């Protein structure tokens, strides 16, 4: 029976899932140690850094990973070398990183004063963290496309293990400078890449350069959707510092609350790898019943996850953030209810977005996320207390995205008879909020 169940799991799911599990645990340990070691103001600055890094890092570099994985997998099936794809992907990630670095340097003074409470050391850490994610996601795309899932999972696991070990050392040493806790986001990913370099080095060179259109064709819309989805789930912490710069308690407490409430999103990440290929295959073969059945099952699973997580968060959330993260007592059960509803709607949006991608409707998915972000901005401007405003923005934005995707997905009442099918050989990963 166990062997039969394992045969149903897509290749690489266990290896990648194990790495994701350790990386997710590292997020909790990282923030918990920092929460008990830093002052409220310094933890607030670290919270903003965390939110910016994973909003931009995952939003921009995850699509590069996915496109590199897709093209490498396609070339692998044709017996072509992966080196030219890696070279193009690295060049693209480097160019995007350089543009972001220039913008960060230009806005360094504003970032330091408005978001990091005058701590100029956080700006270099921000740049270093984004650079580390650029390198990590590019190499992960190669490992995924070549089906080297043990190496992929190892890179995730080393990253998570190092985060846990490094922050534990900082806590035991009594370090109280937030820059060092931020620097862990630089060191851990880079060391994990170095530790998994052998297959990457073997892939270098060989073959003619890959044409840029092959890499850029779907990357624009995919990047827009990825970046906007990270904005919806992460921007609340940043908004607190923008709307109320002196309210350092709420920003830190909100990040701690979001990490707890978003546990179902982490679980969904381990299911995501098998969902898109299944939907795409059903759509490509014109099997409408299988498409809708798989979509309904996925929605049922995430609804169960979201409701279970919501009950726990509403009942225990205020106590857990104080016990685990030493967060200020500024969020109550009602705050966690808003965040839990928002997370459930976000889970629906993630599943429905996979349905749109399976139908090759990248533009529709990007439009839905854009509409959701617009709704988030409008809700955040409501004349309410700052915590309520950002919670309302997260909730409204997520609900609007899910509703827009549902309308775009089911409004046409038809599944195209032939749809390009993403290669099931490439595992699609990426956990919101750096979990």
Q: What are phi and psi of 146, to 5 degrees?
A: -85, 5
The band of 5, judged by pLDDT with boundaries at 50, 70 and 90, is very low
Burial class (CB in 10 A: 0-12, 13-18, 19+), 428: buried
Residues 6 or more apart whose CB falls under 8 angstroms from that of 32 comprise 324, 325, 326
pLDDT at 423 over 60: no
More confident residue, 301 or 422: 301
Q: Copy the structure tokens of residue 374.
A: 């617009």
Tokens at 140, concatenated: 């992960």
CA 236 – CA 354 distance, rounded (Å): 24
Tell me which of 130 and 65 has the higher pLDDT: 130
- Find out whether 26 and 163 touch, Cβ atoms under 8 Å: yes
CB atoms within 10 A of CB 40: 17
Q: Could you give the count of Cα atoms lying within 13 Å of 43 in the half-sphere of its Cβ?
A: 25
Nearest to 430 by CA among 258, 255, 233, 270: 270
Side-chain-facing half-sphere of 225: CA atoms under 13 Å: 25
pLDDT surpasses 60 at 3: no
Distance CA 183, CA 177 (A): 10
Between 162 and 241, residue with greater pLDDT: 162
Average pLDDT over all residues of the chain: 85
Do residues 303 and 346 touch, judged by C-beta distance below 8 A? no
Q: What whole-number distance in Å separates Cα of residue 265 and Cα of residue 328?
A: 25
d(CA 286, CA 329): 54
Q: What is the pLDDT of residues 222-250, one digit of tens each?
A: 888 889 998 998 888 888 888 888 887 88
Terminus-to-terminus CA distance in the chain, angstroms?
32
Contact indicator for 19, 152 with CB cutoff of 8 Å: yes
pLDDT at 426 over 70: no
Task: Report the alpha-carbon distance of residue 261 to residue 310 in Å, rounded.
Answer: 7
Which of the pair, 47 or 13, is modelled with greater confidence? 47
pLDDT tops 60 at residue 431: no
Q: How confident is the model at residue 272 (pLDDT cuts 50, 70, 90)?
A: low
pLDDT, mean of residues 50-68 = 90
CB 175 within 8 A of CB 98: no
Look at the block and give the residue holding tokens 């534990």.
Answer: 168
| Range 77-84 average pLDDT | 86
Residue showing tokens 């179902």: 264
Write down the pLDDT at residue 36.
Answer: 92
pLDDT > 60? residue 433: no
In the structure, what pLDDT confidence band is assigned to residue 98 with cuts at 50, 70 and 90?
very high
**Stated pTM of the model:** 0.82
pLDDT of residue 421: 46
Report the alpha-carbon angle 79-77-9, nearest 5: 140
In the chain, what are the domain boundaries? Answer: 11-217, 219-435
pLDDT in tens, 178-226: 999 999 999 999 999 999 999 999 988 777 788 888 778 778 888 888 8
3-state DSSP call for residue 247?
coil
d(C-alpha 33, C-alpha 173), whole Å: 12
Tell me the C-alpha to C-alpha distance, in Å, between residue 222 and each of 60, 151, 217, 283: 9, 25, 10, 20
Under 8 Å between Cβ of 331 and 254: yes
Residue 204: what are its φ and ψ, rounded to 5°? -70, 145
Plot region of 360 (φ>0 → left; ψ -120 to 50 → alpha; else → beta)? left
């Amino acid at each position: 029976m166990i062997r039969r169940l394992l045969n149903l799991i897509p290749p690489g799911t266990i290896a990648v899932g194990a790495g994701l599990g350790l990386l997710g645990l590292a997020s909790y340990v990282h923030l918990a140690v920092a929460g008990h070691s830093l002052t409220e103001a310094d933890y607030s600055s670290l919270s903003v850094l965390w939110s910016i890094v994973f909003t931009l890092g995952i939003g921009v570099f995850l699509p590069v990973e996915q496109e590199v994985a897709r093209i490498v997998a396609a070339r692998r099936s044709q017996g072509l070398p992966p080196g030219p794809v890696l070279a193009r992907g690295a060049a693209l990630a480097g160019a995007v990183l350089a543009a972001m670095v220039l913008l960060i340097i230009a806005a360094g003074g504003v970032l330091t004063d408005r978001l990091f409470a005058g701590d100029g050391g956080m700006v270099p850490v921000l740049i270093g963290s984004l650079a580390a994610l650029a390198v990590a996601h590019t190499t992960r795309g190669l490992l995924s496309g070549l089906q080297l899932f043990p190496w992929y999972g190892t890179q995730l696991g080393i990253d998570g293990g190092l985060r846990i070990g490094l922050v534990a050392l900082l806590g035991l040493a009594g370090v109280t400078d937030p820059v060092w806790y931020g620097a862990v986001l630089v060191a851990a990913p880079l060391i994990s890449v170095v530790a998994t370099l052998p297959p990457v080095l073997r892939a270098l060179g060989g073959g003619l350069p890959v044409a840029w259109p092959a890499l850029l064709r779907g990357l624009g819309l995919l990047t827009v959707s990825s970046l906007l989805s990270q904005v919806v789930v992460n921007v609340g912490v940043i908004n607190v510092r923008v709307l109320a710069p002196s309210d350092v308690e709420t920003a830190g407490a909100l990040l701690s609350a979001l990490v707890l409430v978003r546990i179902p999103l982490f679980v969904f990440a381990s299911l995501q790898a098998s969902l898109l290929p299944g939907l795409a295959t059903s759509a490509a073969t014109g099997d409408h019943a299988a498409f809708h059945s798989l979509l309904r099952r996925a929605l049922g699973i995430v609804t169960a996850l979201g409701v279970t997580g919501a009950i726990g968060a509403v009942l225990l959330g205020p106590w857990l953030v104080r016990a685990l993260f030493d967060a200020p007592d500024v969020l109550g059960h009602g705050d966690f209810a808003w965040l839990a509803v928002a997370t459930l709607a976000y889970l629906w949006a993630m599943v429905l977005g996979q349905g749109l991608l399976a139908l090759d409707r990248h533009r529709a998915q990007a439009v839905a996320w854009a509409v959701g972000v617009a709704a988030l901005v409008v809700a955040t401007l409501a004349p309410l207390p700052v915590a309520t405003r950002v919670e309302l923005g997260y909730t409204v934005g997520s609900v609007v995205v899910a509703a827009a995707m549902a309308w775009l997905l089911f409004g046409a009442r038809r599944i195209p008879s032939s749809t390009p099918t993403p290669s099931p050989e490439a595992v699609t990963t990426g956990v919101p909020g750096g979990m």
